């Protein structure tokens, strides 16, 4: 109701012409044009005519697709506005073609109170360019001990439940969380890393970490947590979603759980299929992430899981940090990378590399995450919200820290040349970004 009040104001028709229409939800891939009326997609096809008074945008042969749905992004607000605000994150999201964004709850204070859930939703609406769907904290204060009030948080608008970048370490607590979430028609998102094994680590355990003198995190820390939570999903019949999965062993476990018919889903993020642990060479703190970058075999396993459907979505995993967080010795620097503006471009690198078709890549960025969340989005269906991204899949650009939209500049892709540039983004038919 609130979203309609903000976005679906009466406005003139919008006609976007001379585009390649891409709808991952239906498999549409054809030249044509698209007509928007009152914030909704009215029609699309080869030739729609020219409605009186319509604003006409010439697409120049670029691709027009549903706006991206980002399953996982941390926002500085509330509590760390020096790193990122909701307004600056919305700016970066629009520049990246993202029109819906799921915000993590491990803020300061954490989103464990209905009033805070509503605050984040309202701040997102106030930007006018992105729908923000906040996760509710699975435990009070994201501390992993006492359960949050799932019913009240869900009623206030929490899309699902998680402790964000903190793993729910207690098996008993995770079992309760899965049971409660199931009762409220929702799911739990887990940061899959066994806390006692990961504590104090800075890089993936192995030869590189040893040579660099860095404390290691064993790859098994991810698989161990995933194996435990799959067992808990089997017991509770609840739905567990694993975030930023990064290892072959973990993906094998998820693949088997899906084959068993359990309610298990997962996402990954661009660093885990575009970079490997060599990116931390020279103690490059922009490439210090959580989970840490893996070896080349794991990177290839993530790509294989994108191709075979084991991975359900690609999320930005946006984690804003300021210069002081990163200008420290590698072991002491904060983990995390900015990912909103680069989400589409880095995913398209896998399209250009022949690992994914263009529709399959867009499906992982829009239709599949929308379906997982149970929201409208990820489609050009007639009557759907006109959340749209116009991009040229082959136009090149270079990622430069310090010149990205938004406050957060801590990108692990600094210096990376990409093909695939966002030219325009529309939220409910209103243009919110133009290159």
Cα 56 to Cα 167: distance, rounded to the nearest angstrom: 49
DSSP 146: S
Rounded-to-integer distance, Cα 345 and Cα 182, Å:
35
Nearby residues of 107 by Cβ (< 8 Å), 6 or more positions away = 74, 75, 76, 77, 78, 79, 80, 116
DSSP per-residue letters across 344-370: HHHHHHHHHTTSS-HHHHHIIIIIHHH
Closest CA to 135 of 209, 193, 187, 203: 187
Q: Which helix (H) or strand (E) holds 390?
A: strand 388-398
Cα-based distances in Å from 175 to 186, 221, 231, 390? 14, 19, 10, 43
| Distance from the Cα of residue 46 to its chain's centroid | 32
Q: With contact defined as beta carbons under 8 Å apart, do 312 and 318 qualify? A: no
The tokens describing 409, both together, are: 């500049």
Q: State how far Cα 186 lies from the chain centre.
A: 18
Instruction: Give dist(CA 86, CA 313) in Å, integer.
Output: 23
- Listed in sequence order, the residues at least 6 apart from 9 whose beta carbon sits closer than 8 Å to its beta carbon are 39
The answer to whether 212 touches 160, Cβ cutoff 8 Å, is: no
Nearest residue to 299 (alpha-carbon basis) of 319, 337, 269, 258: 269
The CA distance from 267 to 191, in Å, is 11
Is-catalytic flag, 317?
yes
Determine which one of 23, 70, 112, 317 is catalytic.
Answer: 317
Read off the tokens for 235.
């017991």
Catalytic residues: 317
């Amino acid at each position: 109701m609130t979203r309609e009040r903000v976005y679906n104001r009466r406005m003139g028709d919008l006609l976007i012409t001379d585009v390649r229409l891409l709808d991952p939800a239906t498999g549409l891939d054809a030249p044509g044009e698209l007509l928007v009326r009152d914030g909704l997609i009215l029609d699309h096809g080869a030739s729609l005519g020219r409605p009186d008074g319509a604003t006409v945008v010439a697409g120049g042969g670029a691709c027009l697709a549903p706006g991206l749905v980002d399953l996982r992004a941390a926002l500085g607000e509330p509590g760390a506005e020096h790193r990122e605000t909701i307004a600056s994150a919305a700016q970066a999201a629009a520049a990246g073609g993202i029109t819906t964004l799921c915000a993590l709850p491990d803020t300061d204070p954490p989103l464990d109170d209905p009033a805070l859930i509503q605050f984040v939703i309202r701040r997102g609406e106030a930007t006018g360019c992105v729908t923000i769907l906040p996760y509710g904290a699975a435990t009070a204060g994201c501390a992993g001990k006492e359960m949050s009030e799932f019913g009240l948080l869900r009623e206030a608008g929490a899309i699902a439940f998680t402790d964000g970048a903190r793993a729910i370490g207690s098996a008993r607590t995770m079992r309760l969380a899965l049971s409660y979430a199931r009762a409220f028609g929702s799911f739990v998102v887990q940061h899959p890393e066994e806390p006692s094994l990961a504590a104090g680590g800075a890089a993936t355990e192995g030869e590189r970490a040893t040579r660099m003198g860095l404390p290691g995190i064993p790859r098994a820390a991810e698989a161990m947590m995933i194996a435990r939570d799959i067992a808990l999903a089997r017991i509770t019949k609840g739905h567990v979603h694993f975030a930023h999965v990064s290892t072959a062993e973990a993906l094998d476990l998820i693949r088997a759980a899906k084959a068993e018919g359990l309610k298990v889903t997962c996402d990954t993020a661009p660093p885990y299929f575009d970079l490997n642990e060599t990116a931390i060479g020279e103690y490059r703190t922009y490439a210090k992430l959580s989970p840490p970058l893996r070896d080349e075999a794991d990177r290839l396993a993530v790509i294989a899981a994108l191709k075979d459907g084991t991975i359900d979505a690609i999320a930005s995993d946006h984690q804003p940090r300021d210069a002081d967080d990163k200008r420290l010795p590698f072991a002491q620097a904060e983990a995390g990378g900015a990912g909103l503006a680069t989400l589409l471009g880095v995913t398209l690198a896998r399209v250009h590399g022949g690992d994914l078709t263009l529709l399959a890549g867009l499906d992982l960025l829009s239709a599949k995450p929308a379906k997982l969340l149970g929201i409208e989005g990820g489609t050009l269906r007639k009557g759907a919200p006109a959340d749209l991204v116009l991009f040229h899949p082959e136009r090149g650009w270079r990622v430069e820290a310090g010149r990205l939209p938004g406050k957060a500049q801590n990108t692990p892709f600094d210096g990376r040349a990409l093909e695939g540039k966002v030219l325009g983004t529309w939220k409910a038919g209103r243009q919110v970004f133009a290159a």
